[in-house]
Structure 1
């Protein structure tokens, strides 16, 4: 009943070699890694679910793409940067290939770094689209957990980030030639499949947030707060049984501290936003930024353009109405609460 180690041929697909079988030669080597596919699947799942939830709130379908363009790039950069900076010994040593810093397909992206980078991207997306920051963050929460669940399958294919040895029947088989296989242990040793534990936890969390959202209003960032608390609690447990190298602070792994911080930030965010915003959000868009209002300004600008040579269909209010909204309804477009961490 143990979970078998993946066959090396299942972890990558050499497109160059495959095309050579048809007599087509590429000028470079093109390989698709299973780890990258898992991340891509997670992104698509999150985008699809978030789009549905935004549409249900009254946001135009497809707006999620505008957010994704910003959050995806900055999220990946933040995730990789955080991992590299918190694992300097893996990348910076005498004779090291510094290009490995960019080898994301080998594994090593930190969700806490992704949250920081992605939050900046969501903030930019909010400014761009006019959708309230908290509206998008709450809509994203369950999809983000599902994306993380899909991404954890990449850890399985890479045979990384597994837990301590176990005799449980669902233990994970790890190739003894794997560099991550602990020295001194006999071949055939089974390990806790922490990737599977987190997949189950994250899927359960996504369902919990969606069901809870039907019973109570998870608006003004409260959906995001539940995400932070849920993920942080699970991560503290799973991180404590992982055996991959980690920075230690006061005898505790760095990611355990980061997970604890995520729970604390989530709890504070939930309590503060519940106290500050008793009712529902007035709408998914900032004042003056609904599609109808923007379209009306475009028509007016087009009508006046022939007479006054107007070059832009936007007004200064498009980018300052958020300030007016905060003055009247309280802050609703600040960046996501930053949490710090390392390692994926």
Structure 2
């Protein structure tokens, strides 16, 4: 018998609280904590991160929801009230990043904070939060891949609870949520290691994040069977990943070749600058 995890963690005054929401919030809190510590190390204030998140978090959530809804519009037009039902899922990472990025530009200009520096501070924390957030998709039976066999999952030496919960809609599925979660956590570690080796110029932490994330997302998205589509067989997230990968790579190379006054990514103001 399969031990399927209940999507609802508990009820609070009759309101169902989903594991999805708990996991997403956990990732956000951790990202804020790490970003605040890094802000101090590069000469900014921890409050800069908090102030950004006060508006940035709801803006990112709205962007993530709108992105998801817009590319599945017929479903939500049939029942418009479901647009506001976000407790059980339906958030698109790219939508959140786009909306959050727009607010970040506005915030940094208003607060006179260097945009590249602020992006560099946030990038490792964001990809770690994304890795954690994919487990929310797991609890919601989202972000799964094509039909596979139980033997395939067993041969991956996955814990039994993951195998059991990959039985979706009558078939075992590829655990694409796990592939992306692992890829994102590895990306976090790579960014931290390279950052501590002092090889980055200002702006290159976030550009490296975009390159790493979009490269992995392009291939993992191709394995999913619950993707949103742009038109025909073109998956939205694959198309966006393709554009972002080459755009970020091009910007990184261009800045290195044509801007000889690029500042090093400087963490010298923190006593424990070699730590995460």
| TM-score w.r.t. length of structure 1 | 0.69
Partner residue of 2:141 out of 159, 171, 181: 159
Quote the residue 1:12 is aligned against. 9
Give CA deviations for 1:195-251 in whole Å, capped at 9, x if unaligned.
111111000001111111223443432111111111111111111111115325453
Q: For the Cα contact (< 8 Å) 1:66–1:129, is it kept in 2?
A: no
Q: For the Cα contact (< 8 Å) 1:220–1:277, is it kept in 2?
A: no
Instruction: Tell me how far 1:283 sits from its aligned partner.
Output: 9.3
Task: Provide the C-alpha distance between the structure 1 equivalents of 2:248 and 2:102, rounded to a whole number of angstroms.
Answer: 18
Query: Cα distance 1:108–1:280, how it changes in 2: closer, same or farther (>3 A)?
Result: same
Query: Cα distance 1:282–1:235, how it changes in 2: closer, same or farther (>3 A)?
Result: closer
Give CA deviations for 1:8-65 in whole Å, capped at 9, x if unaligned.
2x5331111xxxxxxxxxxxx4332111111111111111111121111111233210
Q: For the Cα contact (< 8 Å) 1:239–1:256, is it kept in 2?
A: yes
Q: For the Cα contact (< 8 Å) 2:134–2:180, is it kept in 1?
A: yes
The reply to whether residue 196 of structure 1 matches residue 178 of structure 2 is yes
Task: Provide the C-alpha distance between the structure 1 equivalents of 2:83 and 2:100, rounded to a whole number of angstroms.
Answer: 20
Q: For the Cα contact (< 8 Å) 1:5–1:175, is it kept in 2?
A: no
Partner residue of 1:82 out of 63, 67, 78: 67
Moved over 6 A (4+): none
Give CA deviations for 1:71-120 in whole Å, capped at 9, x if unaligned.
21211111111110011122112xx2x11101112211111111110012
Give runs of aligned pairs for residues 131-210 of structure 1, distance below 5 A: 131-167=113-149, 168=152, 169=154, 170=158, 172-174=163-165, 181=169, 187=170, 189-210=171-192
Task: Provide the C-alpha distance between the structure 2 equivalents of 1:153 and 1:34, rounded to a whole number of angstroms.
Answer: 9
Task: Provide the C-alpha distance between the structure 2 equivalents of 1:281 and 1:240, rounded to a whole number of angstroms.
Answer: 38
How many residue pairs get aligned? The number is 256
Quote the residue 1:20 is aligned against. none
Which residues of structure 1 form unaligned runs of 5+? Answer: 17-28, 182-186, 285-344
The reply to whether residue 212 of structure 1 matches residue 194 of structure 2 is yes
Give runs of aligned pairs for residues 227-266 of structure 1, distance below 5 A: 227-249=209-231, 251-266=233-248
The reply to whether residue 102 of structure 1 matches residue 84 of structure 2 is yes
Q: For the Cα contact (< 8 Å) 2:130–2:181, is it kept in 1?
A: yes
Partner residue of 1:115 out of 97, 103, 119: 97
Task: Provide the C-alpha distance between the structure 1 equivalents of 2:65 and 2:120, rounded to a whole number of angstroms.
Answer: 24
Quote the residue 1:65 is aligned against. 50
Give CA deviations for 1:243-298 in whole Å, capped at 9, x if unaligned.
115325453322111111121221122123323443453999xxxxxxxxxxxxxx
Secondary structure in 2 aligned to 1:59? coil
Instruction: Tell me how far 1:174 sits from its aligned partner.
Output: 4.2
Q: What is the CA RMSD across the aligned residues, in angstroms?
A: 2.3
| TM-score w.r.t. length of structure 2 | 0.84
Secondary structure in 1 aligned to 2:146? coil
Q: For the Cα contact (< 8 Å) 1:81–1:113, is it kept in 2?
A: yes
